[in-house]
Structures are given as C-alpha cells and as structure tokens.
Structure 1
C-alpha cells in the first residue's frame, strides 16, 4: 500500500502537469511547438506539441517534493531533462536521425559511466548464467535507445503511447513486487500520475487537444527503459531480465515488425510511414477509439500471458522461447495483413488510372 507521503507527491506531480498543460497550450504557437497535418498525419488542424514537456515538469516537481532519491535516480532525471529538451527541439526544428541517436546515446552512456548500472547479465538461461561482460554497456545503449524510439513509433493515435506506458508500468509492478527498490517504483508512480492529465487532454476530455511530441515519447521510453534495467539487474526484485521483455512487448513487437518490413522493401528503417499496427487496424475499418481500446487490450493480454508463462515456466530459457515465438506470430500476422491491404490499394489505384478502352466502331451520325 502506498504511503500517504508518496500519494501526496504523486498528486503534486499530477497537478503540476495539469497546470503546465494549461500554460503551455497557450504559448505553443509562440514556441513553435505545433503539429501540422500532412499526408501521413491526418489530424484536424494544428495541435500543440506540449504533452511531453508537461509530463516532465510533473515528474520533476513530484520528485523534488519527495527529495530522498539516491544517486542513480538523480542522474536519470538530469539526463531525462536533456532528452526532453532534445525532443522539444526535434518537435520545433525536425532534427536529423543521426543527431537524435547521438544525443540519446550520450545520455545513456552518461548514466552508465556515472552510476555503473547497465545490463550485466541475462540471467540463468538453459542451464547457463549468461554474463555479458564488456558487451553489457553497448547492449544497454541499444536497448534504451530502442525502447525510446519504440514509444516514438507507437505515438500514432490519440492516447496510445500514454496508455501503453501505463500498461507497462502496471506490468512491472505485477512482475517485480513493489516493496523492493521503492524509489524506482515511486519514479514510475510519478511518471504514471503526471501522464494522466496529458491523456485527459489528448483524448479531448479537457479543452483543446494536445499531442505528446517527441519530447514525451523520448521521456517515457527513456524512464521505462532505465527502470527495467535497474530493477532487472538487482537480486532484490523478482523481475528477471527475460520478464522485462513482456512488460514492453507490444511496442517492441511493432518496432521489429515495422523495421523488418521497411528493410525488406529497401527503405530506411527510420523513414516514417503508415505501416504500424494502429494504421493496420484503422485501415481494416476500426475508428481511432476502437483501435486504441483494441491495442490496450492486446498489450494487457500479452503482459498477462507473459506473467503466467513466467510463473509456470521451469526455466528462463523457456520463458525467452515463448516470448520469441509470440513475437514471430505477431510479426507474421501484422505483416501479412499489411501486405494484403497494400495489394488491395494497389489494385484500386490501377483501376483508377487505367486508360479507358477506346472503341473501334464507327460513330453513327
């Protein structure tokens, strides 16, 4: 059960986030933080990109109210500030992929160098304790950057990235058992409660709609990734390195599916398109709200299945095998449906541009 002080700090964070949304929404045009519709982005009108900044303000004020975090969380919050600023600059100036990846890697390496926390083991798999040694820090950089960009890629319809964040946090609590590493659980609680005002505004329940922006998707992915690394690399919790994968399964599955499809088509894996699972469902006839509910249910279902497998599997190796098989089924299913939809669109386009048949019969007068 949460202590009264923790509840108070979370309420402070949520109120700060709500106030920040109200203020930033008014100055979004002046700051240049507006999302304009185009061929890929089909929302109505210009929408403020201030959700991520508001969430970070809620997290940092709530953390300041608590004030008893250890060195790791302090470094994590400092580097998260840098990434939130990077995301805001990307929202404003559309930075290159290379610049974004470079700064994301720098932030991750700063945490590793300052705290010594990284993925040093994958646990006991198929009878062997898999220690990573020197390979641990590079793998950690790839994992953290990968999850940041996975949430960025999933931020395609109203409420999706924020809702998947809440599902991931709930899954971590389910797997890890909260009493251990209380400060990490508090940080996740601050992130969740600071995200609630954003979700309310993003879904259109309170005034003008706002979007998360790259600042928000980077922040969410970064804090979740490091929380998973920290909790899974300590013996104080029941969250194994393999269990980590189930907590963020849907964003990871969809990112792999999209990247593989783009590479197979000879395209850049970082070039945006309308090939994500939410696009597939909407092209299949579901509206945005039904798509959102379907994907939340899918994420909850996968995490629950992972928890059942984790508790019943006799080894981490079987758990990892089950995760990989589930991902393969997901990738094959989504890719197959997307291919059929593309083929149907191509046939429709061919019919529209095909030249009309010209009759050779003489015209009677």
Structure 2
C-alpha cells in the first residue's frame, strides 16, 4: 500500500506540472473579480491532478472491491462535471441533477445508503426507503460544503486530510480494508496539489470545482459505508465530528443568507475564512487556525464518543456545538458588516469633498472655494452644476475614486 501511495503522489505531481501548462488552452483558469481577490489568472487543475493520482494508485493496488470501483467510476463523472463547471459556469440546477443521478447510481449498484442512525436514547432509528433521499441530501451537502470551504490557499485540501485522519482515528481497527486504502490514496494524491497551491512547487494552482466535488463525494461515501457496517467502530453519529467544520460553516452561511432573504446557494464573502481575514489574520494564519479548529472538533468528538453513555448524548452534544458555532459566527459577521457600513459614509464623504474640491480648484483657480463644513453648501452646488461638462468630469472622478 505504501508503494501504491507513492505512485499516487508521483502521478499527481506530474499531472500538476503538465496540466498547469495546458490550463489556458483548456479554459481552466480562474480570473480575479469582486469576490475572488487572488492576483493574476490561476490554473484550475488541482482536482484533475488529484483524481489522476488517485485512479493510478488504485490501478496499481489492483484489489479494489465493487463499492470502491463504483465510487471511482462515478467520481470520474463528477470530476468531469466539475471541470465543465470551471470552464462554462454551469447552473446550480444542472449540477444538482447530475450529482443526484450519480448518487442514485451508487445506491442501485452497491446497496449502500444511510439506513440507520443506531440506537438514539434507547431506540433503534431506522429509515427504510427514506434512507435513499437522506443519502442523496447528505452526499450533496458534503460535496457543496467542501466546495464552499475552498476559499483560501490550502484550506479544502487540508480539511480533507484532517477528515481522513479523523476517520482513521474513529474507525481503526476496521475490516473495510478497501475503504482505508482509498482514503490513503486520496490523501497521498492531495499532497502535490497542496504543495503547488501553497506555492512550494512552482506556479500556483487551484483545486477547482472538480477537486472540491471529488473530495466531498469520496469522503461522504466513505463515511456512509463505514458508519453503516456493524463491524467498524465508527458510529453514524461519529461521522459528523469527522467533517464538523465544513458542515458547521455551510449551515451557518445558509442560515445567514436565508435570514437576509437571499438564495442559500448564491456565493458571497461570509464564510469563516473570510471572517477571520476580516478580523485581521493573514491567509496562512487563517489556514492554521481553521486546521486547528477542525482537528479540535474531531478530537472533541472522539473524547465525547468514548465518554458518552449513548449515541443520543453524542448527537445532542454535536447539535449544541453546532448551534453555538452558527450563532457566534453569524453575530461576528453581522458586526463586521455593521462596522464596514459605518465606515463607508465617512470614507465616501471624504472622497466626495476631495473630488469636488479638486474639480472646483481646477475650474476656478481658487484653492479655497470648497471650504470647511461650515461654509455655504450653495456655492459648492453652484460650482459643481455650473456646467454639464464639469458635472460629468466630477462624476467620472467620483467613480474612479470608488473603484
């Protein structure tokens, strides 16, 4: 297995180098805009490189069972979907439709889905056929959770490694050797991407939707399979702690957007990494803080699972922690927005006065035409509106100052 992991790492590294050169030709380039504040155009090939490394490692391993083989085949479809989304910006409806079809295909071919939560407060909670739509929602939810967390360098990939380590912490020893191998190959194939994304291996590359879909999809199915097999030590409630931070942040963001009357799927800059950046932390400090927080959630879950007398107590604790997280993060974000709104009018007033003053001096040659706040505003209005050309010039200057 160590050799296969090395194969996955080397293949992924070669794929990063090669795909980076063809990113522009393929149209897989991320360009900065109002929401994306990176510098320059960055190739979106990290996810493709990870999948190539994972698939090659699995091919060399050669002992992949039906469930893992089905996951790899359907994951290839999602990677292609993610690449098309990176290239053409597909609609949310199209992405959800294809994701649902892929998930139902896995259920139909393997029979694996969420059929029980175990014993909660002394009662065996089973879902029957309702487990199928619940599984669809759970997998899509985690896929999009990792997609939403892919906001700063190294975050989504690092959180994937934390989740894999947490799953091994909860599940070992386990009879599901194929699942462990697949997780190890995924972690190994992610290392070259992280090195490139963090600037340690040539030019920067991004994960892209192809990569975030791949990571969320595989982790979701591994958690479902390992939690539904009685022989493992990973209970259905334990899986929640393995991916606590992406789940918490996704629910917090959706809660805030719905509260504001907006679509929960419309992107913005209100995730936990944006909040920490807004609080003054740098990108690397934010990354370190979130990795530590994700690891703390997983370790806390392991401790609570060992100390709790029942899965019900474990689930109750998880829900309480989630509620505290959602409310705390929402309040911090609202305070940051309120501070920005309070600063905006003062900044805009200063810009307007400066622009009008510059325009007035340029027109009249009098440096003191626009005086302090006690001076008559009528003279300011007269000078700005005295000619249509002057007004248009000043409006243009205002727009430039705002930009």
For normalisation by structure 1, the TM-score amounts to 0.96
Could you give the per-residue CA deviations for residues 114-165 of structure 1, whole angstroms, max 9, x where no partner exists?
Answer: 1110000011001100010111000000000000000000000000000000
- Alpha carbons of 1:130 and 1:361: their partners in 2 closer, same or farther (altered >3 Å)? closer
Q: How many residues get paired?
A: 358
| 1:295 corresponding residue in structure 2 | 290
Contact in 1 for aligned 2:174/2:231 (Cα 8 Å): no
- Give the distance between the partners of 1:360 and 1:292, measured in 2 at CA: 52
In 2, are the aligned partners of 1:50 and 1:212 still within 8 Å (CA)?
yes
- 2:375 is the alignment partner of 1:359: yes
Q: 1:36 deviation in Å?
A: 0.2
How far apart in 2 are the matches of 1:135 and 1:35? 39
The answer for the alignment partner of 2:184 in structure 1 is: 189
For the structure 1 residues 74 and 204, does the alpha-carbon distance in structure 2 shift closer, same or farther, using more than 3 Å as the test?
A: same
Change (3 A) 1:178 1:12: farther
Alignment partner for residue 54 of structure 1, among 41, 49, 54? 49
2:132 aligns to what? 137
Contact 2:104 2:136 in 1 (8 A): yes
User: Please, what is the CA RMSD of the aligned residues?
Assistant: 1.3
Higher Cα radius of gyration? 2
Residue 333 of structure 1 deviates from its aligned partner by: 1.1
Tell me the residue number matched to 1:161: 156
The answer on 1:203 being equivalent to 2:213 is: no
RCO higher in structure (CA 8 A, sep ≥6): 1
| 2:310 is aligned with 1:315 | yes
| 4+ residue runs over 6 A deviation | none
Which of 21, 36, 41 pairs up with 1:26?
21
Asked if 2 retains the 8 angstrom alpha-carbon contact of 1:178 and 1:185, the reply is no
Give secondary structure in 1 for the equivalent of 2:237.
helix
Q: For 1:74 and 1:175, locate their aligned partners in 2 and report how far apart those are by CA, in whole Å.
A: 24
Question: What is the SS of the residue equivalent to 1:241?
Answer: coil
Q: Which runs of 5+ in 2 are unaligned?
A: 354-372, 380-403
Distance in 2, matches of 1:279 and 1:259, equals 15
CA distance in 1 between counterparts of 2:341 and 2:315 reads 39
Contact 2:9 2:191 in 1 (8 A): yes
SS at match of 2:275: helix
Tell me the residue number matched to 1:16: 11
Q: Report what 2:175 is aligned to.
A: 180
- So what's the TM-score if we normalise by structure 2? 0.87
Look up the SS of the partner of 1:122 in the other structure: strand
- Kindly report which structure 2 residues correspond to 1:221-236, keeping only aligned pairs within 5 A, or say none: 221-236=216-231
Which residue of the other structure, out of 50, 68, 72, is the alignment partner of 2:67? 72
The 1:25/1:361 distance shift into structure 2, 3 A limit, reads closer
- Contact 1:14–1:196 (8 Å) recurs in 2: yes
- Counterpart position of 1:146: 141
